[in-house]
Chain A
C-alpha cells in the first residue's frame, strides 16, 4: 500500500474522555486487561489492533453496551457508569455501528430521530420540528439526500451518513467510528473524511477504528494500539510509521515464513471446472493438489464462501463441475460431501460451526457420529477417546469435556471445529476464515497445524480476507473479485500490490504464472 500522504500534529487540549484501567472479562476469556485510552476534543484518535485484540469490546464498554468489570470512564470531569447505550448517548458518547441498524421502510428524518422523535402535546409527533432538525443535521453532512427519502432506497454510503446523522442528533462530544469504510467504495470515502473533519472542527472527539493503515495515517492525530486485550501504547501519527505500528500490533515485525510451507505435492485432488452459481459466482476454475495449501483471497462478498459451500454440497451449481480425486462428483447435500471426504470449517463458527448449547465432546463428534457409535448407539468411551485426542493435539483449553462450547474463547471454539472435521478423516480440508476473531496465540497454532496437515497429505483450501494469513500459508493464491477468479499467483513470489489489485478489480489483466 502507499505510504502515508500527510500526518497531522496532535491536538493540544485536555482530554474530554478518559478510560482508566478498563478490564472486561467474558466467560473463559479476558477481553480487555487494564486498558487506558483517552480522546481530546477536535482530534481523531485511531484505535488499532488485530481481529480479536479487543477494539470492539473497548468501544462497546465506552458506549455502554458492555459494562467493565474494573476501571473508570471519565467524561469531562465526571466519572460515568454507562448502564446502556441510551445512557451513553445522552451523555454525549455515540457509537456508529459496523452493522447498520436502520429501518429501511422509514424516512431519513424518522431514522435519525428514531426513539427520540420531537413531540407535541398528547404525544403527537411534531413533524415540522422533525423536518427542521433533520435539515440542520443534513446541512452538516452535506450529502445528496433529503429528509423524506426512504432509507431503503439509499446507497450503502448514504445509509452510513444517515447513521452518522443519528449520532449528531445527540449533539455528541465523542463519536466512535467502528470500521466505517468497510463497505464503502474508494470514491465514497472522501465524503466520510469530510464529515469527520468537520466534526473535528466543531470540537468533537473522534475515535476511529480501522484496519486500513492508509486511512489511519491520512485521518488521525494519534494512534493507540491494542494487542490481545492489552494496551500497548499511544503514538503521535506524525512521529511514527507503518512498521512501528505493525510491530506494536503483532509484537514483532511481519516476517513471512516461506520455509515452513509444505513443498511436496501429489496429484490433483480437487479440480473445479467453470463452476457457476447463478447471480453468485461465475466460471470459477482452480485446482488443489494433495499436500498443497491453496489460498483464496478476496473481499467479503466476492463469492469465496459460496464457492466453498458449492464444493461442500450446500449449493447446487448452475454450471460447471467439481472433480474430486479424479471423479466428477455431484453432491446433493453436505452429508454426501462428508461421506466423500470433503470437510468445511465454516466462516461463522457460532452460527455454522458449533452448537453453542452443547458440550465440547458432543460438538467434537458431531460430524462423525457413526464412527463413535455401534448399531446406532453412541459409545461414550469412544467419544471420550476422540475428544481427548484432539483436546491434547490442539491444546484446547477447557476445564472439562462437559463445558458448553458457548463458554469457550474464540480460539478454543475454532480448534473444536477443526478437530471435529479432522476426525472425519477428510481428503480435502476447506477452511473459511479459520482465524477470524481469535487471539494471536491460537492463530499461530492453527497456522502451524494447517501446514502440518498439508505436509501429511491433506489438500487444503484456505479462504481468508487477511493478507498476512494468505501469504504466510499458501503455496498458490487464487484471487477473487465480484464472483470471478481474477488471478492466480505463486504464494512465494507475489507482492501485496498485485494481490490488492486483483481483489479490487483493478488488475483483471494481471495473470502471474
Chain B
C-alpha cells in the first residue's frame, strides 16, 4: 500500500492517494467530525460561539466532567464504574437534605464520608474479593437507587433558605469571573492528571490496568490499587454532588439517573480505551466538552433534547470504529 509514503496530513489540492486520505481521516476522524459539527452549529445559530454560551456549556459539562475524571482513573486501572449515576443521586439528596438539618459544613462532611464509604464497598468487592467490576457496580447502581428512595421516602428534597446560605457558592458562585463549577472541574482535572502522569501511584494504576499479572509479579499491591481507584471515583462523585446540590438547591430522587452513560460517553469520545492501562484525564476533559458542545448545538438548532441521545451514541460508535480502523489500517476487518 502506498499509504505509508503519504504524509499524514496533506494540504487540500495536493494530490493524495485514496489510502492516504483514508488514513488521515481515520486518524483524525473524530476531531474533524467535531470541527465540522461546530462549524455547522455556528452557521445555524449565532449564539453558539458566543462567550456566554461557551461558558454555559462548560459549566453544564463540569458535573459530568468531574465524575468522568474519577471514572477515568477506574478505567485506566482496568475496571468499570457504572454506579456513579445513582451515587450522584444519593450524595446530592443527602447533602441537600442534611443542609437544613445539621448545617452546611456538617452536611458536606457527612456526605463526603458516606460517598467514600460506598466507593470503599465497591473497591473492596472488586479489589479484594476480585468480583467482576461490571456486575458489582451495576448491582450497586440499582441498590443505591433503592437506598435513596428509602432515605427520602420518595420525597424530593430542597433547601429552604436558598439566598442566605454560603452553600450556594459551589454551584452558583464565581471566582475571578469564572464559575466555581468550572474552576472545580479544572482544578480536579489538573490535580488528577498530575497524580496519574507524574507519581508512582499513577504509574502503578497504569501498570495494574495494563497487565494485572505483571503488576503483581512486580511487587505491586494490585488489590489496594484497584480499591483506591474506587475511592477516587467516589470522591469525584461527592464533588459533583456538591456542585449539583448547590446549583439546584434541591434534588430529585433520581437526579443522577443516566449520568453513568454520559460519563462513559465522554470518556470514550475522548479516546481512553475501556481495556485499561491507557488513557489520560486530558482526553476525558476534551471528550466531555465535545459531548457538551454537541448537545448544546443540537438544542440551539431547535432539535428536541432526546435527539442528543441518538446523536451522541452514533458519534461514539463512529469514534470507536474509526479508532479501531486506524489501528488495523482498514475500515473493515480482513479476517473473519
Contact = CB atoms under 8 A, between A and B. Distances in A.
Query: Real complex partners, A and B?
Result: yes
Interface of A: 84, 314, 333-335, 337-339, 344, 346, 351-358, 362, 366-367, 369-370, 373, 376-378, 420, 424
B207 A358 contact: yes
Interface string B176-199: 000000000000000000000011
Most buried by A among B198, B206, B218: B218
Contacts of B278: 357
Contacts of B201: 376
A443 to B, nearest CB: 22
Contact of B219 (A84, A337, A351, A358): A337
B101 interface: no
6 contacts: A333-B216, A338-B219, A339-B219, A353-B217, A356-B211, A424-B219
Contacts of A339: 219
Given A338-B219, A353-B214, A366-B207, 13 more contacts: A333-B216, A334-B216, A337-B219, A354-B211, A357-B278, A358-B206, A362-B203, A366-B215, A366-B218, A373-B199, A376-B199, A376-B200, A378-B198
Contacts of A420: 218
B256 interface: no
Q: Which 3 A-B residue pairings sit nearest by Cβ, starting from the closest?
A: A338-B219, A369-B200, A355-B210
Contacts of A84: 335
A245 to B, nearest CB: 37
B277 interface: yes
B220 interface: yes
Nearest to B201: A376
A353 B206 CA distance: 15
B218 A367 contact: yes
Contacts, number: 73
Contacts of B211: 351, 354-357
Nearest to A356: B211
Majority SS at the chain A contact face: mixed
A358 B278 CA distance: 9
Interface in B270-294: 277-278
A424 B218 CA distance: 10
Contact of B200 (A346, A351, A370): A370
B211 to A, nearest CB: 4
B130 interface: no
Contacts of B218: 334, 338, 366-367, 420
Contact of B210 (A337, A353, A357): A357
B2 to A, nearest CB: 18
A338 B277 CA distance: 23
Contact of A377 (B199, B277, B335): B199
Contact of B214 (A333, A354, A373): A354
Contacts of B221: 333, 335
Interface of B: 198-201, 203-204, 206-207, 210-211, 213-221, 277-278, 335
A115 to B, nearest CB: 11
Given A314-B217, A335-B219, A344-B217, A358 B210 contact: yes
Contacts of A346: 217
Contacts of A424: 219
A358 B220 CA distance: 16
Of listed B200, B201, B210, residue having the most chain A CB within 10 A = B200
A335 B210 contact: no
Contacts of B198: 377-378
Contacts of A334: 216-220
A355 B221 CA distance: 16
B62 to A, nearest CB: 27
A366 to B, nearest CB: 5
B215 A314 contact: no
B214 to A, nearest CB: 5
B214 A352 contact: yes
Nearest to B211: A355
Nearest to B275: A357
A283 B246 CA distance: 65
Contacts of A367: 218-219
Nearest to B335: A84
A378 B199 contact: yes
A88 B140 CA distance: 50
Nearest to B204: A369
Contacts of B216: 314, 333-334
Given A334-B216, A351-B214, A357 B200 contact: no
A333 B204 CA distance: 16
A456 B188 CA distance: 49
A346 B217 CA distance: 8
A132 to B, nearest CB: 29
Contacts of A338: 218-219
Nearest to A334: B219
Nearest to B277: A357
A228 to B, nearest CB: 27
A320 B45 CA distance: 76
A373 B210 contact: no
A335 B221 CA distance: 6
A84 B210 CA distance: 29
Contacts of B210: 355-358
A5 B203 CA distance: 58
A362 B217 CA distance: 15
A362 B220 CA distance: 14
A353 B219 CA distance: 11
Given A334-B219, A335-B220, A378 B203 contact: yes
Contacts of A344: 217
A206 B159 CA distance: 83
Contacts of A357: 210-211, 277-278
Q: Which of B204, B214, B217, B277: most chain A Cβ within 10 A?
A: B217
